């Protein structure tokens, strides 16, 4: 065996990728044996192929982080699998969203990789974000107590998901330029819009990400104390102002008090998790459809129900690795902007995952945010993959930086 082949065989990524492909081949094949549909048989070949192309192919085309890509692809494909199992139509739509999302991810990666000056772009993004957030207030439709959606024809759009990216880029850029006040004004304006839309789950994410970025950029303790105090005041104000927040807190404290009504969702979720046990009830054997919003807010409960607690921990570990990888990318950055951007991306994924999984297992009150990469929804999937795209762009910049450093080291010494 040649040296190159030996090296490839010992590559850790290669085996991981093979294991991922095997997982989805077996899972879709099992579903195909149950329903006998040709689509399921086709998916058992197509999904592993997409995982391979989405990881190895992209990293050949663009200098990206393969570990991050493979973990993201696994979670996205898991979302397609779970949704396809429960509702084939939604599964196929999610597969389409995944494909579009990969394109957007590449676009974001290239944006970060090649854009040198963010000054005007950031100004444009900030203005666009405020405009986008204002749209649901004007032409939006209220769903589950929040008015955070609007419709273009048959397509529904959630601007707060798109603005998440804008917030990451704008606040990171402004803080890298030491424009702390302006960044606070922008984040505050976004939070105000979200409060008006009563989209408090997303507002919590925005607040958390801004807080983390502010700490990473300034390290100022008084600012942090002010932030915590402000956040606590906003939480109390939100609780007093919005009836649906009070209701959600009451459900969180005791869902069994109204298990057939307001607490139905969380009670069904808890029952599904307990039924799943350590190993799950088996793929295709569960009855997770009884949980309202099983495809969206409660998809983690569905995974625990069908695949079990052990597999749930596997999924959590994958999120953890993505977050750790994000932090590693941030630490390797050459510029403050990129470091802050990567920190923001990692913290956004971490917060969003914690908020929704915590809500599913009754650790914290349930909020209407999606589980990144897995939950059903075009905007959510695109936004999550765009966040990974931003991280990939930063990783690619880091690789270019190391290459440059190596060249400089070869030249040695000072300029003449």
Scan residues 159-178 and list those touching another protein (CB under 8 A). 178
Tokens of 236: 């109390």
285 lies in the site for another protein, by CB under 8 A: yes
Is 344:213 a contact under the CB 8 Å cutoff?
yes
Query: Per CB under 8 A, does 319 bind another protein?
Result: no
Reading across the β-sheet that carries 141-143, which strands appear in turn? 141-143, 146-152, 155-157
Query: Is 408 an interacting residue with respect to another protein (CB under 8 A)?
Result: yes
Q: Pick from 340, 316, 318, 320: which is nearest to 330 by CA?
A: 340
According to the binding rule CB under 8 A, does residue 261 interact with another protein? no
Q: Vertex 349, ends 218 and 270: CA angle to 5°? A: 130
* Range 106-129 burial, b when 16+ CB lie within 10 A, else e: bebbebbbeeeebeeebeebbeeb
Residue 227 CB, shortest distance to another protein, in Å, is 18
Site string for another protein, 202-241 (x = CB under 8 A): -----------------x----------------------
Q: Which is nearer to another protein, 54 or 255 (CB)?
A: 54
Min separation Cβ 408 and another protein, Å: 5
Selected from 180, 235, 327, 328, the binder of another protein by CB under 8 A is: 328
Give CA–CA dist 335/337, Å, rounded. Answer: 6
Q: CA angle at residue 7 from 5 to 11, to 5 degrees?
A: 115
Site for another protein, residues 116 to 135, rule: CB under 8 A: none
User: Among residues 232 and 324, whose Cβ is nearest to another protein?
Assistant: 324
| Angle ∠(212,213,216) on CA atoms, nearest 5 | 85
Min dist. Cβ of residue 350 to another protein (A): 16
Tokens of residue 99, six digits: 């494909």
- Window 332-351: residues binding another protein (CB under 8 A): 332, 334-336
Residues 231 and 212 sit within 8 Å (Cβ to Cβ): no
CB proximity list for 229: less than 8 A, separation 6 or greater? none
Q: Which of 62, 321, 327, 361 binds another protein (CB under 8 A)?
A: 321
Smallest distance from another protein to CB 36, Å: 8
Q: Tally Cβ neighbours within 10 Å of residue 3.
A: 7
**Burial of 196 by CB count in 10 Å (0-12 exposed, 13-18 middle, 19+ buried)?**
middle
Within residues 58-87, the interface with another protein by CB under 8 A covers 67, 70-71, 74
Distance CA 354, CA 323 (A): 12
Site string for another protein, 263-282 (x = CB under 8 A): ----------------xxxx
Relative orientation angle of helices 66-86 and 88-114, to the nearest 10 degrees = 160
Interface residue with another protein, options 153, 222, 260, 412 (CB under 8 A): 412
CA 35, 37, 41 angle in degrees (round to 5)?
Answer: 105
- Given the complex with another protein, which of 73 and 268 has the nearer CB atom? 73
Q: Considering the complex, what minimum distance in angstroms separates the CB of residue 282 from another protein?
A: 4
Q: How many residues bind another protein (CB under 8 A)?
A: 57
Given 8, 34, 192, 244, the residue binding another protein (CB under 8 A): 34
Q: Give the binding range for another protein (CB under 8 A) out of 55-63, 95-103, 164-172, 399-407.
A: 399-407
Within 14-33, which residues bind another protein (CB under 8 A)?
Answer: 15-16, 19-20, 22-23, 26-27, 30, 33
Give least dist CB 372 to another protein, A.
17
Other Cβ atoms closer than 10 A to 396: 20
State the residues that interact with another protein by CB under 8 A.
12-13, 15-16, 19-20, 22-23, 26-27, 30, 33-34, 36, 67, 70-71, 74, 178, 219, 279-285, 307-308, 310-311, 314-315, 317-318, 321, 324-325, 328, 332, 334-336, 401-402, 405-416
């Amino acid at each position: 065996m040649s040296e190159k082949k030996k090296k490839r065989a010992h590559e850790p990524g290669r085996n991981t990728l093979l294991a991922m492909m095997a997982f989805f081949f077996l899972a879709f094949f099992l579903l195909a044996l149950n329903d006998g549909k040709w689509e399921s048989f086709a998916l058992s070949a197509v999904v592993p192929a997409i995982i391979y192309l989405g990881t190895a192919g992209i990293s050949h085309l663009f200098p990206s982080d393969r570990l991050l890509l493979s973990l993201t692809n696994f979670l996205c494909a898991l979302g397609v699998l779970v949704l396809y199992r429960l509702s084939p139509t939604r599964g196929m739509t999610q597969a389409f969203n995944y494909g579009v999302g990969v394109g957007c991810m590449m676009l974001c990666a290239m944006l970060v990789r090649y854009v040198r000056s963010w000054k005007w772009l950031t100004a444009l993004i900030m203005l666009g974000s405020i405009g986008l957030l204002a749209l649901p207030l004007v032409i939006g439709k209220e769903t589950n107590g929040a008015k955070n959606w609007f419709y273009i024809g048959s397509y529904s759009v959630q601007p707060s998901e798109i603005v998440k990216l804008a917030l990451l880029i704008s606040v990171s850029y402004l803080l890298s330029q030491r424009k702390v006040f302006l960044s606070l004004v922008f984040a505050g304006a976004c939070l105000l819009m979200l409060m008006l839309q009563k989209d408090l789950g997303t507002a919590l994410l925005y607040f958390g990400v801004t807080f983390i970025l502010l700490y990473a950029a300034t390290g100022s303790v008084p600012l942090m104390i002010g932030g915590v105090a402000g956040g606590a005041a906003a939480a109390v104000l939100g609780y007093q102002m919005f009836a649906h927040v009070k209701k959600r807190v009451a459900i969180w404290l005791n869902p069994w008090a109204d298990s057939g009504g307001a607490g139905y969702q969380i009670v069904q979720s808890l029952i599904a998790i307990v039924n799943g046990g350590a190993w799950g009830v088996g793929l295709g054997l569960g009855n997770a459809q009884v949980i309202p919003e099983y495809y969206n807010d409660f998809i983690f409960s569905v995974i625990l129900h069908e695949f079990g607690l052990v597999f749930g921990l596997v999924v959590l570990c994958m999120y953890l690795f993505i977050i750790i990888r994000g932090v590693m990318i941030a630490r390797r950055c050459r510029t403050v902007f990129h470091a802050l951007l990567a920190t923001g991306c990692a913290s956004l994924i971490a917060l969003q995952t914690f908020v929704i999984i915590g809500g599913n297992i009754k650790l914290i009150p349930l909020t209407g945010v999606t589980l990144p990469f897995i939950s059903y929804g075009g905007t959510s999937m695109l936004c999550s993959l765009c966040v990974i795209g931003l991280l990939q762009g930063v990783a690619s910049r880091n690789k270019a930086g190391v290459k440059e450093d190596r060249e400089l080291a070869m030249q040695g010494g000072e300029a003449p």
